Amino acid sequence: MSRRVSAAPIPPSAAPAAEDARDARALSPAENADLCAGCVRCCTYVSIEIDPPRSAWEYDQWIWVLHHRGLQIYLERPERWFLHVEGVCRQLNAAGRCDIHGRHPVLCRDYDPRTCERRYPLSDIRAWFREAADLEAWMQRERPAHWRRLVAWRRDAPQAPPVADALAARAPAGFVPVESLAVSAAGARRPAGRPGREALPRRSAASTRRASAGRRAG
Ligand code: SF4
Ligand code: SF4
């Protein structure tokens, strides 16, 4: 199992080591240091559980995410989806030790080095999507009905902005100089007539809420 933020965290007692009944929190710092010698893998990424996509807009949203460098998604049996972000923890020092050991997150303490990904392959993983094309190919192969719905949804959605609108005639009304986005001394300033993020229909989907909640929890 990878170290990750889940909607329902795994209690320490649910992942016992085969020959040692103690849970991960009972290991001493010396035991942890010994078990983790030469490895820092689980301190170099973040995995956050997300809602399994079903509708076309949800797949579209995660395909959009996968167009971004550094963002990946994987799928575990029976069906648990995770957003995976490579990123080294700021508390990992040059010696490969945790700089805040003793007050490090409980999530870290519960990850058991006796049964971690260093010692056991991530056998629950059904699919790993490193870019948008991976998820699209998987949908065509494993979820053809969902893929057809996505293709139809894309086909029926308007292309925006229309080519003519992108030309000069539209520019005076829609153009917002970059300088006007500067933050004033009094706080954030929004250009007149421009909608706030809360007014935008996309990228605020329900299935991203759990990820946000998870980050706060982690
Ligand atoms: S818990 Fe496992 S993956 Fe993490 S640093 Fe220790 S040995 Fe490596
Ligand atoms: S807080 Fe410490 S144990 Fe947790 S991920 Fe960072 S370096 Fe690793």
The pLDDT of residue 18 is 55
The pLDDT of residue 54 is 97
Q: Taking 80 as the threshold, does the pLDDT of residue 15 lie above it?
A: no
User: Poorest-confidence range of 149-153, 160-164, 183-187?
Assistant: 183-187
The pLDDT of residue 192 is 38
Residue pair 80/73 in contact by the 8 Å Cβ criterion? no
- Once rounded to an integer, what is the mean pLDDT over residues 53-78? 97
Task: Identify which of 7-11, 40-44, 154-158, 202-206 has the greatest average pLDDT.
Answer: 40-44
Ligand nearest to the CA of 42: 1
Report the DSSP beta bridge partners of residue 187. Answer: 184
Q: What percent of the chain has pLDDT over 70?
A: 67
The enclosing H or E element of 47 equals: strand 45-50
- Once rounded to an integer, what is the mean pLDDT over residues 103-109? 95
Q: What percent of the chain has pLDDT over 90?
A: 52
The 10s digit of each residue's pLDDT in 169-182 is 555 555 556 565 55
The pLDDT of residue 171 is 54
Q: Among the atoms of ligand 1, which is closest to the Cα of residue 39?
A: 8
| Best probe residue, ligand 2, of 40, 45, 100 (max atoms within 8 Å of C-beta) | 100
Instruction: State ipTM.
Output: 0.99
User: Poorest-confidence range of 2-11, 108-117, 209-218?
Assistant: 209-218
Pocket of ligand 1 contains residue 1 by CB under 6 Å: no
The 10s digit of each residue's pLDDT in 113-137 is 998 988 887 778 999 999 999 999 9
DSSP 101-170: TTSS-HHHHHS-TTSSTTTS--TTEEEEESSHHHHHHHHHHH-HHHHHHHHHHHHHSPPSS-TGGGSGGG
The pLDDT of residue 165 is 58
Average pLDDT, the chain: 78
Residue 201 preceded by cis peptide, ω within 30: no
Q: How far is the CA of 195 from the CAs of 134, 159, 201, 206, in angstroms?
A: 34, 20, 11, 20
Shortest-distance Cα residue to atom 5 of ligand 1: 40
Q: Among the atoms of ligand 1, which is closest to the Cα of residue 32?
A: 6
Residues 153-167, buried b or exposed e (16+ Cβ, 10 A)? eeeeeeeeeeeeeee
Pocket of ligand 2 (CB under 6 A): 43, 89, 91-92, 98, 100, 104-105, 108
| Best probe residue, ligand 1, of 34, 40, 41, 115 (max atoms within 8 Å of C-beta) | 41
- Split at pLDDT 50, 70, 90, the class of 212 is very low
CA angle (20 as vertex; 14, 21 as ends), nearest 5: 45
Shortest-distance Cα residue to atom 6 of ligand 1: 36
Q: Among the atoms of ligand 2, which is closest to the Cα of residue 104?
A: 1
Give SS3 for 42.
helix
Shortest-distance Cα residue to atom 8 of ligand 1: 39
Q: What is the 35 CA–ligand 2 centroid distance (Å)?
A: 15
